[in-house]
Structure 1
Amino acid sequence: MPSNTKPIPVTVLSGSLGAGKTTTLNRVLNANRELNTAVVVNDMGEVNVDAELVERESDLSQNEEDIIELSNGCICCRLRGDMLEEVGRLAETRDFDYLLVESSGISEPIPVAQTFARGFEDASFDPTGVYELDTMVSVVDAYGFWQGFDSGQALTDAAVEPQGNRVPEAALMDQIEFCDVLLLNKCDLVPDEALDEMEAVLRALQPRADIIRTEHGNVDPDEILNTGRFDFQRASQSAGWKRELQGGHHHDAAAVEHGVESFVFEADRPFHPERISHLLADLPDGVIRAKGFFWSAGREDVAMGMDKAGQSVRAGPSGTWIATLPEAEREQYFAARPGIEDDWDEEWGDRGTELVFIGREFDEAGLIDRLEDCLLTDGEMDDDWSQYPDPFGVDEQRELALADD
């Protein structure tokens, strides 16, 4: 590409199945006809229905190669290389000004962003310098989210088969937590009071993004095109649970008004594995998001991770305690992060628990009491922990059975 040619800006649309991504895409295309746009449409199915809808409802034509179909897989995993090859082919002609990407309903946005920002080792085309991520957009189905709140049911379509061991609700949380603009769509189907409540929750989950209410995908194109808002580092650190762990806890007025709560549970002794697994499988319905790491007695070799997204709860091995590393590696950590040594235990090192909980109208004090009851008692600290039954997976996190299953 000539050095004097500016990179092609890219907007990526993510969102759960049925949230209104394709409708939003078509609204933007039809409202901004002067912008010469190319489109990538990703669909999990063998037949890319969304691409047909874009072609039929806009001025774009697949015969003119304005629309790229990527079907039967996700651009966040198996189709990453395919996507780069296609957008690389488009860039050779450079007869368009902007690239709009609609990812599949279960795509995770971070790998898609990484593909454009850093390239992909299995692809021959390097997008850096040719394309430039401009805005990451997530579309949330306000009606589906509201129904989930009202009934305590899943926040996404539970009938969708998980892909790559990622359940749909976890993908939805990824989409909410990693974006620059969050479109709360189908607002015409939800009472204003419920919308205010949902927006308070979404702001707790994603404090950095602009939240825009839409109906039928109607959004001003200037809100999601040429915004210049994308910053990979900031986006990666913007999730509400990360802010909590970093000490950025606060409740704004809207959150307080609508009962949105969050807290960090910390402990320096291990959980009893059976007790904590039962609790994690039976968290209050009001807890929408929870994440972090914990120490499970008998698994001193590995940090256990927990990730709750909606009704889905996954837990299991998720990392390494610094205390288990060779001395030279430990010293490198100490040099890079001096604060670690301040909390270092002579016997157990950095083993401990930090779990973040975000939700609405749940009994925070009661949940803290239940968590504390899961910790080993003074008497159990002297037990042979290797004799405790271990309900967690050996090598990876797994879905915990819910109490009412």
Structure 2
Amino acid sequence: MTELVVLCGTSHDGTERTIARMRELDPGLAVLHHDLRHLAQGRVHRRFRTGNRDEHTVLELAHGCVSCTIREDVLPTLAQLAGSVSRVVLHLDPRLEPEPVCWALGSVLFEPGGDTEPCLVTDLVDLRGVVTVLDPDSWLTDATGDATLPERGLSTLPEDERTVAQLAVGQAEFADVIVTTRALQGDDVADRRTAAVLDRLAPTAPRLLPSGGDHRLFCDGVGDESRRGVPGGVHDPLLRGTPPLDATDGVRTLLFSARRPFHPDRLHEAIDTLLDGVVRSRGRIWLATRPAAVLWLESAGGGMRIGHAGDWLDGADDQAWAEAGDQRRALAALAWHPRWGDRAQDLVVLCHDADPDEIDAVLRDALLSDAEIAAGEAAWAGLPDPFGWAHDEPCDDPVRNDPTVGIEREGES
């Protein structure tokens, strides 16, 4: 079966050097790239390289969006290549995060044509994993800032409000292999901090140089805990592999857990502590005003998204339990609380320039007090709730208690 590797990164020089090394290792390699700079005008520039061929094609789309590009050209092109070459590298536009693309490869049905039944790309090719290229001179600054992609000239789509930090963190966190454009120096403080962050953000991903890269550039020989392009679920463990939990050069991971709900207003006031000096925070939260709802919190640098991500199993019917999956049912049963069931707060916060103990204290102050717990759920329902069903930070005009507001997690619909 044809092998597929997804390659991403914002460093043009770094990704091209990595592709050159890949082609040295495998002269028959096919490289597919879609340039999205003119996507807002409904045009995508496709480049296909294999052997001595270097073909450029301009695609005209009815709707200028990433999902149309993937459905209308990426998936069919990969299907056509399946079986005709031994290995394909899907080189993503620098504006793309790999997780939603990999989700589409393994979840979006398309019709190959002829008498073939609709199928998934991952039925036709072996998705080996994701390789991310990053520049140590700028990556940590990007991963901890609050600039948006349009502000940096990385997107012209009117509704694209992602931050550069979301892109930088998303590309590194989902990687099975990380390629750095230069070696990280142990005697350089900035390099040590970048290495410490990567050790905790992507602990299972080996780090290589493009010039010295071996067959791990094709995700060969990576560990059993590697994602290999498979997106995670809301109820998956929040820590992958065995990242260091102690502090290194000021970089430390906070594990926050609690078995009582957050007061919505106090949590909203506490959110800023997760946006300053923090590379990444992610996890499940439980608001007193939404006893049934699992909310997913995810931040990168100075931007955050909180949204509805399903329901707790406490009080759920038999069908919900059956659909939950073996791992989630087992974890819920092991931690079952006599009053709260599986409801809990579970957050992981990766700090590079903040005090994790202070963050822990602020978050604990945002939980309901003993007196508020004693007042009961009927009283909780009347608490002010700034979050609605979807919430972004920074927050200029928060939606308050509007159940009509929808929520999509990145990579899901």
TM-score by length of 1: 0.76
Write the mapping of 1:250-269 to structure 2, written as runs, cut at 5 A.
251=244, 256-269=247-260
Unaligned runs of 5+ in 2: 114-118, 397-413
Deviations 1:76-103 (A, max 9, x none): 77414421212333447x2x44312111
**Corresponding residue for 2:411?**
none
Q: Which residue of 1 aligns with 2:352?
A: 360
Q: CA deviation at 1:246?
A: 5.9
Q: Which moved more, 1:330-339 or 1:284-293?
A: 330-339
Q: 1:122 aligns with which of 110, 114, 119?
A: 110
CA distance in 1, matches of 2:184, 2:148: 19
8 Å contact from structure 1 (residues 292, 356) kept in 2:
yes
Q: Which amino acid aligns with 1:277?
A: H
1:180 equivalent in alignment to 2:176: yes
How big is the shift at 1:380?
2.4
Residue 387 of structure 1 is matched in structure 2 by 382
2:141 corresponds to 1:141: no
Which range is displaced more, 303-312 or 315-324? 315-324
The two structures, once aligned, show a CA RMSD in angstroms of 4.0
> Structure 1 residue 291 and structure 2 residue 279: aligned?
no
Corresponding residue of 2:28 = 36
The structure where helix makes up a greater share of residues is: 1
Q: CA deviation at 1:208?
A: 0.6
Aligned pairs (5 A) from 1:52-71:
59-62=52-55
CA distance in 1, matches of 2:70, 2:240: 38
> For residue 102 of structure 2, what is the amino acid of its counterpart?
A
Aligned residue pair count:
375
Letter of the 2:132 partner, please give it.
S
Partner in structure 2 of residue 102 of structure 1: 91
For 2:370, what is the secondary structure of its paired residue?
A: coil
Name the SS for the 1:392 alignment partner: coil
CA, structure 1 residues 201+233, in 2 after alignment: closer, same or farther (shift >3 Å)? closer
CA contact (8 A) 1:177 1:238 kept: no
Structure 1 residues 352 and 221, CA, compared in 2 at 3 Å: closer, same or farther? closer
Deviations 1:266-324 (A, max 9, x none): 11111111111121134263221111111112111312221011221111322201124
Q: Which runs of 5+ in 1 are unaligned?
A: 1-6
Distance 1:200 1:267, change over 3 A: same
Q: Secondary structure at the residue paired with 1:100?
A: strand
- Residue correspondence of structure 1 range 1-400 to structure 2 within 5 A: 7-16=1-10, 18=11, 20=13, 22-28=15-21, 31-32=24-25, 35-46=27-38, 51=47, 59-62=52-55, 78-91=69-82, 94=84, 96-114=85-103, 116=105, 118=106, 120-124=108-112, 126=119, 127-128=121-122, 130-148=124-142, 153-154=145-146, 157=149, 158-159=151-152, 160-161=154-155, 167-185=163-181, 192-212=188-208, 214=209, 218-220=211-213, 222-225=215-218, 227=220, 229=222, 234-235=227-228, 245=238, 251=244, 256-283=247-274, 285-326=276-317, 329-330=320-321, 337-381=329-373, 382=375, 384-394=379-389, 397-400=390-393
Distance 2:130 2:236 in 1: 20
Q: Is the 8 A contact 2:142 2:165 kept in 1?
A: no
Identity of aligned residues (%): 24
What is the identity, as a one-letter code, of the residue corresponding to 2:176? D
